Amino acid sequence: LQGVKFRNFSIIAHVDHGKSTLADRILESLGAMGERDKRDQTLDTLELERERGITIKSTPVRLKYTRPESVGEGAGEEYIFNLIDTPGHVDFGYEVSRSLAACEGVLLLVDASQGVEAQTIVNAYLAIDSGLEIIPVVNKIDLPAADPEGAAQEMEEVVGIPAEDAIFASGKTGAGIPEILEAIVQRIPAPSGSADAPLKALIFDSVYDAYQGVLLFVRVLEGKVSPKDRINLFSNGKNFEVDRLGTFSPGLIVGQSLEAGEVGWIAAGIRDIQDAQVGDTITRTDFPTTEPFPGFKPAQPVVFSGLYPTDTEDYRKLREALERLKLNDAAFSFEPETSEALGFGFRCGFLGLLHAEIVQERLEREFDLDLIATAPAVIYRLTMTDGEIIETQNPAQFPTRDRMEKVEEPYIKMSVMLPEEHVGAVMQLLQERRGSMVTMNYVGKRVELIYQVPFAEILYDFHDRLKSISRGYASMDYEIIDYREGDLRKVDIYVNNEIVDALAVVVHEDKAYSLGRKIVDKMSEVIPRQMWAVPVQAAIGGKIIARATVKAYRKDVLAKCYGGDISRKKKLLNKQKKGKARMKQIGTVEVPQEAFLAVLSTE
Ligand code: GTP
C-alpha cells in the first residue's frame, strides 16, 4: 500500500439534518451509487430503515477522489476515502462511538434552518473524545428559512471551531460538495499506524451472511491481515481462520489483504454474532498485539419487554423468528418466559425503545406474527433483607417492600436543546419525572439543559410530552450513567378480580396512586364491554389503590347497519376481526394490546 493516501471519516448530525442525503451527493460526485439508490436495489436491507428514514446499520463505502485542477498544487493526486456511516438514534450511541473510533475525522452537519440540536452536541463531544478532526458543515442552505451564519456561530459556541471554518452546503443542490471533498484531504489527518506492527483491528459493526457466516466490519489500526491468518478475538479469546476479506465499494469487494489505515470486512467462518461484538479488537495469533483498542463494552440490553403470541399455536414460530433476528443483532436478547395470564412467551432485551419497536415491527411484518407486548421496563438492582443482591427487569417478579432492604434503579444523563421560551415548561416536565438539573447553557438563543433522570421515567410517553410542550422544538439525547436508590413499588393490576401478572408495573412510591388510577381508567376504556360488569383494580401489596369498571353491554357491530348494504357489513366485520387478532383471553375477559400498554398512554 506504499503511497496510497487514505482518509477515513464519518458524518455525524442530529436526526433529519440531512446526513444520508449529503452522503449520497458525495458518493455520486465520486462516481459511486447513492446510498438510497443502493438500498432500493438491495433486497436485504431493512425495509423499516427506509420507511422511517433512519439509519440503523452502518454501511461503509470506499471512494476514490482525484484532486481537481482548481486546487493548483496537488492537482491530480489520488486519495482513497472511507466513509463510515453511523446510526442516527440515541439507542445506538455506543455503535456511533465505535464507528467514530474507526475514523480520523468527521463532518459535523447542522441544518441551516434548525441550528445546533441535542444530538449535534452529543455527537460532537463523542468526536472530540475520540480525538477526531471536526469539519463543521452547515447543510440545507437552499432552504428559504436557512440562516447559515447563525448555525455556524452556534457551532463555534458549542464545539469551539471558528465559524469561518464552516462549509456551507446543500445535499439537495450539491452546493459545497467540492469544498467538502478538499477539506477532507486538507484537514483530516492521514491514518497513522504501521503495517509492520502486530495486527490490531477494531470491529465497528458486523452483519450475518447466510453463506459466509458473520462478516466483521473492521478498521485496521496496526499491522496487516490476509486470508488463512488465524485471528483472535480479545473479548472472549476465540480463534478463527480468515476465509476471505476485502473492502466496500459499496458492495463487498474481495481483496488480498487489509493493512493499517484501511477499512474493510473479514469473513472467518464465525457462526454466532455474539462472537463479533462491536468494539472488540482482533489480532493475529502468530503475531499478536498485547493491548486491545480501549473502551470495549459488550452489547447490553437496557430495556426489557415480554413478547407473547396472541395465538398460543404461534409460540414455536415466534421462537424461530427471534432466533433469526438474533443472528444479525448481537444487542438483542431473549429468553423463554411464562406468564400466568399470557401463557408461553419470551422476555426480550433491547438497547432502547426504538430498538424494541423495530424488533416488534419486524416480527409482525417479516414473520407475520400477531404479538402482545408488555410495557417496557428497566433493570432494577435489589438488595434483599438477607443481604443477597439480585437484578430483575420483570415487574411481575418484583418483590414486596418487606422483603427488600434497598432498591436501585438506572439513571441517565439527559441533554435537552430547546428555544428559551419553552424552558419553564420543559423544566417542569423533567421535575415531574424526578429529574435534577446539572447545568443550563445558552447556545445562541437556545438553551441546553443537562439533567439526571431515572431511566424508567422516560420510557413512559416522555418523548411525546417533550415534543408537545415545546411545539416540536425540543430535541434530546441521553446516556445511562449509574444506579441510585429509589422508593420503588410494584403496582399489581386485577381484571375481573384476578391478578394479571403481565400487567404489573414498578413505579416510584409518590406516583403509585396516580399511575394506578391512569392504568385502570385507560384499561376500562379499551377492554370491550362484556355481558357483565368487569372490575379493573390497581393494588400495592394486596391493598387496592384504584378501581374502575368496564360496563356491561355486548357490542353488536351489525346493529348499526341493519338493512344496510352487504359490503359495509363485511367491512365492519373485517375491522372487528382485525381488532380481535391482538386480543388475549384472560379468564373470561378478552384484553386488547392497548391494555397492556395502558401505562404508556399520554394523559
Ligand atoms: P437520519 O438517517 O435519521 O440521521 O436522517 P438524515 O440526517 O440522514 O436525514 P436525511 O438525509 O434523510 O434528510 C432528512 C430530510 O431533509 C429529508 O426529507 C431530505 O429530503 C431533506 N434534506 C436533506 N438535505 C437537504 C438539503 O440540502 N436541502 C433541503 N431543502 N432538504 C434536504
Higher pLDDT, 106 or 502: 106
pLDDT for position 596: 79
Is 327 a residue whose pLDDT tops 90? no
pLDDT for position 580: 46
pLDDT for position 46: 45
pLDDT for position 105: 97
Is 556 a residue whose pLDDT tops 70? no
What distance in angstroms lies between residue 167's CA and the mean position of ligand 1's atoms?
A: 17
Contact indicator for 363, 371 with CB cutoff of 8 Å:
yes
Share of the chain above pLDDT 70, in %: 89
Local structure of 6: helix, strand or coil: strand
114 lines ligand 1 (CB under 6 A): no
Q: Whose CA is nearest to atom 28 of ligand 1?
A: 140
- State the DSSP code for 74: T
14 lines ligand 1 (CB under 6 A): no
- Work out which ligand 1 atom sits closest to the CA atom of 15: 4
pLDDT for position 475: 86
Shortest CA distance to 248 belongs to which of 295, 215, 223?
Answer: 215
What distance in angstroms lies between residue 169's CA and the mean position of ligand 1's atoms?
A: 12
What distance in angstroms lies between residue 584's CA and the mean position of ligand 1's atoms?
A: 41
Residues 109, 111, 115, 117, CA torsion sign: negative
Q: 35: how many CB neighbours lie within 10 A of its CB?
A: 23
pLDDT digits (tens, 9 = 90+) for 567-602: 555 555 554 444 445 677 777 787 877 787 777 765
Higher pLDDT, 129 or 565: 129
Q: Which residues pair with 285 in a beta bridge?
A: none
Is 410 a residue whose pLDDT tops 50? yes
In angstroms, the CA 240 to CA 209 distance is 16
Residues 6+ apart with CB under 8 A from 26: 63, 83, 177, 180, 181
What distance in angstroms lies between residue 473's CA and the mean position of ligand 1's atoms?
A: 17
pLDDT for position 297: 84
171 lines ligand 1 (CB under 6 A): yes
Local structure of 249: helix, strand or coil: coil
Q: Whose CA is nearest to atom 29 of ligand 1?
A: 140
Mutate to test the pocket of ligand 1, among 21, 142, 354, 477 (most ligand atoms within 8 A of CB): 21
119 lines ligand 1 (CB under 6 A): no
Interface ipTM: 0.97
pLDDT for position 544: 94
pLDDT for position 179: 97
Residues 6+ apart with CB under 8 A from 14: 110, 111, 114, 116, 117, 118, 119, 120, 123, 475
In sequence order, what DSSP letters do the residues of 565-600 get, joined into one string? -HHHHHHHHHHHHHHHHTEEEETTEEEEHHHHTGGG
Quickly count helices (H) and strands (E) in the chain: 15, 33
- Cα 215 from chain centre: 21
DSSP E strands in 179-270: the ranges are 200-209, 213-222, 224-225, 230-233, 239-241, 244-248, 252-254, 258-259, 263-267
pLDDT digits (tens, 9 = 90+) for 478-515: 889 999 999 999 999 999 898 988 889 999 999 999 98
537 lines ligand 1 (CB under 6 A): no
Local structure of 152: helix, strand or coil: helix
Is 237 a residue whose pLDDT tops 80? yes
In angstroms, the CA 118 to CA 129 distance is 17
What distance in angstroms lies between residue 482's CA and the mean position of ligand 1's atoms?
A: 35
54 lines ligand 1 (CB under 6 A): yes
Shortest CA distance to 517 belongs to which of 541, 493, 501?
Answer: 493
Q: Which of 176-185, 340-349, 394-403 has the highest mean pLDDT?
A: 176-185
Q: Which residues pair with 572 in a beta bridge?
A: none
Shortest CA distance to 9 belongs to which of 76, 99, 71?
Answer: 99
According to the annotation, is 541 in a ligand binding site? Answer: no
Q: Read off φ and ψ for residue 414, nearest 5 degrees.
A: -115, 140
Q: Which of 152-161, 196-205, 348-357, 465-474 has the highest mean pLDDT?
A: 196-205
pLDDT for position 88: 66
The helix (run of H) or strand (run of E) holding residue 354 is helix 353-366
pLDDT for position 472: 80
In angstroms, the CA 180 to CA 166 distance is 10
According to the annotation, is 141 in a ligand binding site? Answer: yes
Is 91 a residue whose pLDDT tops 80? no
Rounded mean pLDDT of 206-233? Answer: 92
pLDDT digits (tens, 9 = 90+) for 10-45: 999 988 899 989 998 998 899 876 554 554 433 334
pLDDT for position 56: 47
What distance in angstroms lies between residue 470's CA and the mean position of ligand 1's atoms?
A: 22
Provide the phi-psi class of 542: left if phi over 0, else alpha when psi is between -120 and 50, else beta.
left
pLDDT for position 394: 92
pLDDT for position 383: 96
pTM of the model: 0.81
Higher pLDDT, 454 or 557: 454
In angstroms, the CA 556 to CA 558 distance is 5
